[in-house]
Amino acid sequence: MKRLALFAVILAGVLFAATASEFPRLGAVDSAPSRHVSPAYIQGSQPQTHTPNFVTSVLADYRGFDTMFETTVVFLAGMSCFFILRALRRRGVTEVYYYRHKPTGVVLAMLTPRRIPPRSSCFERIDADWMPQDMVVETMCLFMVPFIQVFALYVIAHGHYSPGGGFQGGVLLAASFILVGLSRDLRTVESLLTEKTAILAAAAGVCIYAGTGLLALCFGGNFLDYGAYASFFGAAVPAARSMGILIVEIGVALTVMATLVTIYKLVSSRGTVEEGL
């Protein structure tokens, strides 16, 4: 089987190498891609959308419809993970809950969790495979979180001018939550961003994107035509387009963040969202 796979890979490689001889040279200015639509984007981005970074204007405006569906794909990935992995009803599994008495370090194993209130001052719930936490690691990681989040907001907001945008910013935001999960435990993440909030945020993010598109119909534009908002914002069409790009990028960031955190929680806890990595 491995040999067959190797053979297939080599064959495909040879075929692609053989058919690539007609391709234009890398970066050739007279090649078809650089002559056909690219000049329109490069020259039009600033005057038409007030966005110097034309990657952003292609992504979120000229071809914003693709990006809307890409965001839907991210949302879909989260929903698929939820649909397949989430263990909502567990049969025949006896749950054991572990509680650590903070002053003494004694750990109680209990079958009924309600004996101890969730926010007890002297008991804390711990995972089955709990290990004494490293204070240095935990403190340093929690110290980094606000910086990561501020940088994420910068990446989202500055997408018009520099590399960045909703996807990258959303991933950074999700990374900050996952860092909390790695350095402390899943329950802390769950208390910061509950499963319900995350699913609602993921849906809200795509809704912001698609809703921005649909609302343009009310202002007489086509779907996703941010220029139609010019009268609403009281600004010129390019400025309205720039504003539209920012709004949809925020939607993308929300969906990406919430979906990645949801997937992390589901995968790391085998679908229980109780305890895990």
Partner 1 sequence: MTAQLPILAVAPLLFGAFAVTVGRFLFRRANYAVAALALAASFAASVLLAIRILSQGTAIYFVGGWPPPIGISYVADPLSALMLAFVSGAALCTFLASKAEIETSYPLKNSAFFALFLLAVAGHMGIVITGDAFNLYVLIEVAALSGYAILAQGRERAMLSSLNYLFVGSLGASLYLLGMGYLYIMTGSLNMADLSGIIGQLAPDGLSGSTALAAAWGVILAGLFVKMGLFPFHSWLPAAYSFSAAPAAALVAPLTTKVMAYVLVRMILSVFTPDAAWSLPAVNTLVLILATAAILYGSFCALAQRSLRKMLCFILLSEVGYMVGGAFLGNRAALTGTIYHIFADLLMTLCLFLAASNVERGTGGRFSDMGGLFRRMPVTAAAMAMGGLSMIGVPPFCGFFSKWYLLSGAISAGSYVFAGALVLSSLVNAVLFFRIFEIGFFGTPAAPSASSGEAAHGHPEPIPLFCDEMPAARLAPLCVVAAGLVAMGLLTGEIVRLAVNAVLPPGLG
DSSP 122: S
**223 touching partner 1, by CB under 8 A:** yes
**210 touching partner 1, by CB under 8 A:** yes
Contacts of 134 (CB under 8 A, 6+ apart): none
Q: Which of 6, 11, 14, 37 binds partner 1 (CB under 8 A)?
A: 37
DSSP 89: S
Q: Which of 55, 110, 153, 200 binds partner 1 (CB under 8 A)?
A: 200
Distance, in Å, from the CA atom of 88 to the CA atom of 270, rounded to the nearest integer, reads 11
Phi, psi torsion values for 98, nearest 5 degrees? -105, 130
Phi, psi torsion values for 89, nearest 5 degrees? -130, 120
Computed over its alpha carbons, how large is the radius of gyration of the chain? 25
**63 touching partner 1, by CB under 8 A:** yes
**30 touching partner 1, by CB under 8 A:** no
**20 touching partner 1, by CB under 8 A:** yes
| Region of 37-45, 99-107, 149-157, 160-168 interacting with partner 1 (CB under 8 A) | 37-45
3-state secondary structure at position 88 = coil
**36 touching partner 1, by CB under 8 A:** yes
Closer to partner 1 by CB, 155 or 251: give it: 251
Closer to partner 1 by CB, 123 or 229: give it: 229
User: In the window 85-124, what residues touch partner 1 (CB under 8 A)?
Assistant: 86, 88-89
Q: Are 186 and 236 in contact (CB under 8 A)?
A: no
Q: Which of 22, 29, 114, 136 binds partner 1 (CB under 8 A)?
A: 22
For the bound state, the minimum distance from the C-beta of residue 174 to partner 1, rounded and expressed in Å, comes to 18
How remote is the C-alpha of 184 from its chain's centroid?
Answer: 21
Distance, in Å, from the CA atom of 28 to the CA atom of 26, rounded to the nearest integer, reads 6
Distance, in Å, from the CA atom of 19 to the CA atom of 182, rounded to the nearest integer, reads 47
**174 touching partner 1, by CB under 8 A:** no
Q: Which of 40, 107, 140, 236 binds partner 1 (CB under 8 A)?
A: 40
User: Which segments of 51-189 are extended strands (E)?
Assistant: 97-101, 107-110, 123-126
In the block, residue with structure tokens 């204070």? 135
Q: Which of 47, 119, 196, 234 binds partner 1 (CB under 8 A)?
A: 196
Tell me the two tokens of residue 93.
């599994």
Residues that bind partner 1 (CB under 8 A): 15-16, 18-24, 31-38, 40-41, 44, 61-66, 69-70, 72-73, 76-77, 79-80, 82-84, 86, 88-89, 196, 199-200, 202-204, 206-207, 210-211, 213-214, 217, 221-228
